Structure 1
């Protein structure tokens, strides 16, 4: 299950982190005790306001702070051709003033209260968060609620922010050969799924974007009945609910919020390949197989088996890719595997690699395909599977010590339609995965007919091109 905040403009949701290191579980806590600790879960208090806003509150008294996040069910996968990037630009404009708080006031007040704030846009949602002293939570409540309906969207600020986003795109995608390869890769892998488009938007769409497009997008999706408020920290749930009613309760809902079309990805009928030419020092490879997500899997266990499979290949120094491709044969300087199964649409199982100097990209590709073939031929051993499961437990313990992680997990699962309660099932479902199930999903889904391969073909690097630091930080 993907577990970290993406930066704005990144084309993933919450990426998979199954573990920090098995060392944490092995040295500090026996597996049985670790499992019990993970299962001792503080309840989530769920409320719903009359205007449709859902409120989730989880008490965590380990630090005198509160994490408040407001999640909107809208992201780049809701956008249509010609309007890509709208969700991300709205995110930027949320910091450019309301009728009540002019541009700059939001950040000034947050800073004066010793808090931090930011936002992120992903494929399936946009979220805004503050980390603040628990006793000052009301300050964040008042400020954030004002932005739900009160943005002024001044044309001058819009024009400036679009240029900021375009600069962000250049720095994060167009000037990063691996990121550019990833963008081209997903555009080829997905034909009809909206995951085809980058979260930050295509440059042509950013060039053509109008403030009227932005206003229509904001008015359509930014509403209490399309949002989830999450608060985790040293708070009293009943008090949080009263504050939510005070500040969010008066907001008017939007009637008839559009239900996104299914946009089901067409069935792939054979291998797809793409070569990306860009200035780079070394070649790079990405391989993506079409796989189900938790939202559409025919068998409930399949996404968890794919999740474990990814960790077998790439779950720390003892994983297969690290042992065999990086340290063993020394043919790859980088090799990774990841699975994204908790989006609102099916995604990809991705393998990637970069050869060491002197090695050919084809050698790395062959080695990665051999790893897949090995998983299809032979079930994983009991010892290897136990190691991965121990990593899951260690990762869960480590991450649940973070109030911000807890809030993010609740908000993301709720926003994609899986429901926050799924988080409590994760460990049990991972622990239930068998070697036979891992072999079964490898045979069923990691097949050539559902495979897309992107290769980065390095081009000469211009030594005179300036390497400017980004200037788009809010």
Structure 2
């Protein structure tokens, strides 16, 4: 069971929605605007602040009470992803995620999913560059059983070699469906490999096909034993629960897992870029596609006066909502050069981040013309800036997104887990809020002029070839995409 891997653009947009419920204290820092944002409450009246605990073996527990419905979400977060892999074993973090459904000391292959379904729940898992996550949403009275099941497979995942040999073919088919059959996904892989020199972000999360073909069961077992240790994991529980009761259950089922040290992660240094980099990719496709990726600073500390805050606001001004600058100028403007456009910024991660501008050229327009038009929009902000009213409108839309997020216990659990992975505190939302609403037009204008030169840029261009050149593929022996873990 798999979610599509989150893109830089979707993650940045989701983060904006998650960070900005305009609290009254933060609003006082916002300059007046023509149409000021509405003033919502910071949280729904029924919400309580999250609580964080450390179990006796070093595992983290985070509990978010929300008593509006008799349901609960349990999420297991492991601070391990493709960034922790070694060359030659790309994709192994994702393969471990698959094999976590293939048996334990107590359960046979596939039995975990059957047990959760019998509890009236649903479950899934996901792997990214920075982390791996597993979740179950169940009726709250079934939470104890879900915790017992998750603790068992975290502590004692085991399976025969035959299960691996079958499942690695599923992973390879997943790569074919989501990457090799998708020209833009292949283009993105090549662009990432060109952007980064030292960072493990240069490898795809799903892995290179050659590495998947050469992977062994012992490669997977070794990665699981190395990284699936209590001090490298967090349990997040959100829903109609009492924190102290959840803590007692967590100690009962997770606290007895033997403590082990988290392996030391070796540092690396990304070399300075010296000049523009270009990727030209030919593939059967109906339309061209252009992706511009600029190396930019990432957020290192919530309390720093970082350019990261202004870059995040710049991304929202350019794209993220209807009526964005890119959409108005390049898609709906009188000199239409694009069928679609987008922008995004990662803000934070365990590796370096980039700022992306993407688009599909309109009929009769070249990729080069769209590339120039995208860069011109950033240059225009660098020269002329943005207005107070423009920022106010963006923040109003963030408020609406935040309101919807608070209606979902799943979204609350996912936010708390992703923040834990990055080492952020429980009050990260409020502190991000204070920084973001304090961003001024002058700061946005400054970053637009500082980080978008040739020495930060990697351009990837998809050059369409006739669809008749597409190579035929054999029919997959596996189920539909929704059945792939």
- Evaluate the alpha carbon distance shift between residue 296 and residue 204 of structure 1 in structure 2; reply closer, same or farther with a 3 A threshold: farther
- Evaluate the alpha carbon distance shift between residue 19 and residue 51 of structure 1 in structure 2; reply closer, same or farther with a 3 A threshold: closer
Aligned match for 2:3, one of 7, 14, 23: 7
- In structure 2, the partner of 1:136 is 142
- After TM superposition, the structure 1 = structure 2 runs for residues 445-460 of structure 1, keeping only pairs within 5 Å, are 445-460=451-466
- Evaluate the alpha carbon distance shift between residue 52 and residue 297 of structure 1 in structure 2; reply closer, same or farther with a 3 A threshold: closer
* Distance across 1 between alignment mates of 2:350 and 2:2: 16
Matched, 1:465 2:472: yes
C-alpha deviation, 1:417, in angstroms: 2.1
Aligned match for 2:356, one of 341, 350, 354: 350
- In structure 2, the partner of 1:267 is 272
Asked if structure 2 preserves the Cα contact closer than 8 Å seen for 1:295 and 1:346, the reply is no
In structure 2, the gaps of 5 or more residues are 21-35
- In structure 1, the partner of 2:29 is none
Asked if structure 2 preserves the Cα contact closer than 8 Å seen for 1:118 and 1:129, the reply is yes
C-alpha deviation, 1:424, in angstroms: 2.5
Matched, 1:239 2:213: no
C-alpha deviation, 1:299, in angstroms: 4.6
- Evaluate the alpha carbon distance shift between residue 35 and residue 262 of structure 1 in structure 2; reply closer, same or farther with a 3 A threshold: farther
- Evaluate the alpha carbon distance shift between residue 260 and residue 296 of structure 1 in structure 2; reply closer, same or farther with a 3 A threshold: farther
Asked if structure 2 preserves the Cα contact closer than 8 Å seen for 1:304 and 1:430, the reply is yes
* Distance across 2 between alignment mates of 1:210 and 1:464: 29
C-alpha deviation, 1:426, in angstroms: 2.3
Asked if structure 1 preserves the Cα contact closer than 8 Å seen for 2:90 and 2:212, the reply is yes
C-alpha deviation, 1:19, in angstroms: 5.0
Matched, 1:427 2:424: no
* Distance across 2 between alignment mates of 1:43 and 1:275: 49
Q: Name the SS for the 2:279 alignment partner.
A: strand
- Alignment deviations for residues 91-144 of structure 1 (CA, whole Å, 9 cap, x no partner): 000000112011121111111111000100000100100011111101110000
- In structure 2, the partner of 1:396 is 402
Aligned match for 2:68, one of 62, 73, 76: 62
- After TM superposition, the structure 1 = structure 2 runs for residues 35-46 of structure 1, keeping only pairs within 5 Å, are 36-37=42-43, 42-46=48-52
Matched, 1:16 2:37: no
- Evaluate the alpha carbon distance shift between residue 432 and residue 39 of structure 1 in structure 2; reply closer, same or farther with a 3 A threshold: farther
Matched, 1:414 2:420: yes
- After TM superposition, the structure 1 = structure 2 runs for residues 16-95 of structure 1, keeping only pairs within 5 Å, are 16-17=13-14, 18=16, 31-34=37-40, 36-37=42-43, 42-95=48-101
* Distance across 2 between alignment mates of 1:93 and 1:278: 33
C-alpha deviation, 1:420, in angstroms: 3.6
C-alpha deviation, 1:221, in angstroms: 0.5
Asked if structure 1 preserves the Cα contact closer than 8 Å seen for 2:43 and 2:406, the reply is no
Q: Name the SS for the 1:34 alignment partner.
A: coil
Aligned match for 1:258, one of 260, 263, 278: 263
C-alpha deviation, 1:472, in angstroms: 5.1
* Distance across 1 between alignment mates of 2:358 and 2:42: 35
* Distance across 2 between alignment mates of 1:377 and 1:35: 37
Q: Name the SS for the 1:67 alignment partner.
A: strand
Asked if structure 1 preserves the Cα contact closer than 8 Å seen for 2:47 and 2:65, the reply is no
* Distance across 1 between alignment mates of 2:440 and 2:217: 53
- In structure 1, the partner of 2:320 is 315
C-alpha deviation, 1:259, in angstroms: 2.1
- Evaluate the alpha carbon distance shift between residue 241 and residue 297 of structure 1 in structure 2; reply closer, same or farther with a 3 A threshold: closer
Q: Name the SS for the 2:462 alignment partner.
A: strand
Asked if structure 2 preserves the Cα contact closer than 8 Å seen for 1:190 and 1:265, the reply is yes
TM-score when normalising by structure 1: 0.92
- After TM superposition, the structure 1 = structure 2 runs for residues 248-397 of structure 1, keeping only pairs within 5 Å, are 248-255=254-261, 257-295=262-300, 299-328=304-333, 329-397=335-403
- Evaluate the alpha carbon distance shift between residue 312 and residue 263 of structure 1 in structure 2; reply closer, same or farther with a 3 A threshold: same
* Distance across 2 between alignment mates of 1:304 and 1:56: 26
Asked if structure 2 preserves the Cα contact closer than 8 Å seen for 1:315 and 1:388, the reply is no
* Distance across 2 between alignment mates of 1:276 and 1:455: 6
C-alpha deviation, 1:223, in angstroms: 1.3
Asked if structure 2 preserves the Cα contact closer than 8 Å seen for 1:67 and 1:129, the reply is yes
C-alpha deviation, 1:461, in angstroms: 1.6
- Evaluate the alpha carbon distance shift between residue 39 and residue 449 of structure 1 in structure 2; reply closer, same or farther with a 3 A threshold: farther
After the TM superposition, list the runs of 4 or more consecutive aligned residues in structure 1 that deviate by more than 4 angstroms: 8-13, 35-41, 296-299, 466-469
In structure 1, the gaps of 5 or more residues are 23-29
C-alpha deviation, 1:151, in angstroms: 1.1
C-alpha deviation, 1:464, in angstroms: 7.7
Aligned residues: 462
Q: Name the SS for the 1:214 alignment partner.
A: helix
- Evaluate the alpha carbon distance shift between residue 51 and residue 298 of structure 1 in structure 2; reply closer, same or farther with a 3 A threshold: closer
* Distance across 2 between alignment mates of 1:223 and 1:432: 40
- In structure 2, the partner of 1:207 is 213
